[in-house]
Amino acid sequence: MDSKSAMIIAAVLIAVIAIAAAAIFMSGQDKSGEEQETVIGVALPVYGNADLDSDIDNNDLNIIEKIIAGGNGYTLASYPFADANRDGKVNSQDSAIVKKIINKESTTVYHLNYYNDGAVNVKTKIVDTKWPCEDLMVTYNSVMFTLTSLGVDDKVVGATAVGKVSLDKYMYANIMKNAEALKTSYDSSWNSMMDISSVSKIMLDHPKAHTMFVSAYGQYDVYNEAEVEKVGCDIVRLCESNPTRDETLASVLLAGFLTNTLDRAKELTSMYAEIWDACTKISSNLPTEDKQGYVVTAGSTTMAGTSNQHGYKCLIAGGKSVLGTENQSPGTWMLEDEYNKNIDKILIVAWSNANNGFFFGNHELNPDVILANYTEGSTETVWEMTDAWKNKEVYVVYGDFPTAFDLLARGYAMYPDYFGSLYEKSCAKLLTFISDGEFAGKNIKFVYSLSDLENY
């Protein structure tokens, strides 16, 4: 990496993120049909960001103009993101786009979209999006969390889960108040398919609604993105909850840039980076004798292996996986000594749109619903027979979080003595940031023990 591309999140973020390792993004096809590899680290993944920092400004314009003028050392090969319109060359058209961005004038921008396989692997594809994004559509809880944290939830006019009482009415109050329902269905392979008629209706009702922010989990979220784009709706895929540091942070910057909240996105990125790095520092220094064996759910009662993002996050947070790489369904095998004696902690991930109640409310969870799958029925009662359950080493963790707080919540559930101080301070900081103080002092919790739920 040269000195230019090493300047990740300069100025505002340099103290926190400058040491981040560069991430390698495998881009999709560009206009020439060729694939290319681009190293950008934690940077705004938008073409026109020639110096690969956290924004597009006059510094980028100066680089583009030097490339056009043939300045020594200034080439497209050295500054691949200087090609703002992705036509394979740098000329006045690229400088014109950057000038429009600097002047807050509407234009079309090219950027990276993120695609994840539901595990830990991320690829990217170059897409174009009409900028700026004004009236918004959104899917997936953690994407809603990102937009709400950026303060643009009042601009959301279409969203999945709207109308369901289970969507957290406190965290997503503006979305529930203003947004029309985006309808989804599932095909025979359980790929999530967006209902095109509901997209078209929202676009008709809101002429400025031409962008849908969705998760990088392409199989689980808007699998039929090509059909959505055919009706004129741009798809922006964020890597907001994948257990990879740089892509997660870059996604926040991307969302902030596209919605004209980049300054706030920089603050949020700085917070996430600080927490991520603090979590991994704690986990890397855990004494071997204190390591906790864990199982963690990956939806319903399926347990996540380390090839699944939920299992991998626990691994990053310092846990020892009892399962290995592959997911497993519960069964009497859990009671065999090989597993039962090694399961120190059971973590249950609970999302706000799965009838789990309102984490951001005041004592408004649904403990009976959360625990139902684990305490009822002939198969699932095996959970209660494990030593971990009998010892009440069972913890429910909030599922809507971006990855940095996912790591923090899982680390705190497994190692409260090591993560406790960081957890308390970071959650207080987040609650103040996302609500301008509205949630501060309300004793909001994101990790509940089995005893907490039984005495709720």
CA dist., res. 274 & res. 314, Å (int): 18
CA dist., res. 26 & res. 32, Å (int): 16
Ordered domains of the chain (ranges, CATH): 1-105 (1.10.1330.10), 108-260 (3.40.50.1980), 274-454 (3.40.50.1980)
CA dist., res. 79 & res. 126, Å (int): 16
pLDDT at 97: 98
For the chain, give percent helix, strand, coil, nearest 5. Answer: 40, 20, 45
Is there a contact between 430 and 268 (Cβ–Cβ < 8 Å)?
no
pLDDT at 169: 83
- Reported pTM: 0.90
Residue 377, sorted as left (phi over 0), alpha (psi -120 to 50) or beta, turns out to be left
Q: Please classify residue 118 by burial: count the beta carbons closer than 10 Å to its beta carbon, then call 0-12 exposed, 13-18 middle and 19+ buried.
A: middle
Average pLDDT per run of 10 along the chain, which is 456 residues long? 38 34 37 43 95 97 98 96 97 98 98 86 93 95 93 95 72 91 85 94 97 86 94 95 92 98 97 97 97 89 90 96 91 93 94 76 79 68 91 94 95 98 95 82 88 89
Helices (H) and strands (E) in the chain, counts: 16, 18
Residue range 25-45, pLDDT digits in tens: 333 344 433 334 455 779 999
Could you tell me the sign of the dihedral formed by the alpha carbons of 326, 332, 333, 339, in that order?
Answer: positive
Is there a contact between 176 and 362 (Cβ–Cβ < 8 Å)?
no
Beta-strand (E) ranges in 12-74?
24-26, 37-39
- According to DSSP, the residues that pair with 295 across neighbouring strands are 346
Residue range 222-253, pLDDT digits in tens: 999 999 999 999 999 999 888 999 999 999 99
Report CA-CA distances (Å) from 70 to 83, 103, 139, 141.
Answer: 15, 26, 45, 47
